[in-house]
Amino acid sequence: MPTISRVLEDMSMEQATDAGVLLTDRVAVVTGGGGGIGAATAQLFARHGAQVVIADIDAALAEQTADAISASGGVAVPVVADVRDADQVAALARSVLDRFGRIDVLVNNVGHWLRHPGNFVDTDPQLWDELYRINLHHVFLVTHAFLPAMVCQRRGSIVNVSSVEGLRGYPEDPVYAAFKAAVIHFTRSLAVQVGRDGVRVNAIGPDVTESLQVPYSQWLSAEEQAQWPQWVPAGRMGLPADQARVILFLASDLSDFVTGHTIPTDGGTGAAGGWFRSSRRPDREWTNRPIAP
């Protein structure tokens, strides 16, 4: 039987949900929060009542997003930090905890494929190390810096941003794919370890989403843009706000019983499994030969 206090907590949660505000007075840190998915997440968190710390290596982007949040009546603090650097991560954690006294939500959003490497046999260990530091090592560093505070307060939500390439084979860059897959398994394993401490750990796996690293609107011709309904079951490319809404769900009490999972935020491309809607074959609606879908 649930305790009276638990019933009251549940009622409070329902009232907050009914009011449409999901992160009232919570302190959230979003790495890479200056642009793209990170900025959309920071802005959405602020609209839901969170006090948001925007950690970004780009001072101008961080300040721009923080100013936009402040102009809308929200609370945002820009912090310049390279999350690949242990000393800067430690300073970020001290700054947040000294200022707010707590950390309720951590979004490890930073990641990058850096550049097209060609075949694996043509790559070198320096590139592997760069990919490791920007896609996996910083997740360890930042989580390690903030997790003790969450455990101490016996409450917290960590959301890691992986990639669809961590969920499927990625022949263009097996090393990048390996690190993104490692983020997913770290998410799963840490969630089991800290679940009894009141900390939840989840992740998302984006695909086909407009971002700073993948600006589809600039890369694709008008003819290619028209192919989205054939390429993606949802019929369009993803936008940063699509990812932010799922991150909000995982950060909020709406997902209070969800931990250790990675949600593929891919518009259905994973479910399609390589099948494409055909516009050129009157005899068949679907094809798994995408040269001429």
The Cα–Cα gap between 61 and 274 comes to 36
132, 170, 176, 216: the active-site residue: 176
* Token duo for residue 63: 């300040």
Residue 176 falls in the annotated catalytic set: yes
The Cα–Cα gap between 38 and 110 comes to 8
Q: For the purposes of burial, counting CB atoms within 10 Å of the CB of 257, is it exposed (0-12), middle (13-18) or buried (19 or more)? A: exposed
From first CA to last CA, the distance across the chain in angstroms is 56
Contact 66, 76 (CB under 8 A): yes
The Cα–Cα gap between 79 and 275 comes to 43
Catalytic residues: 176
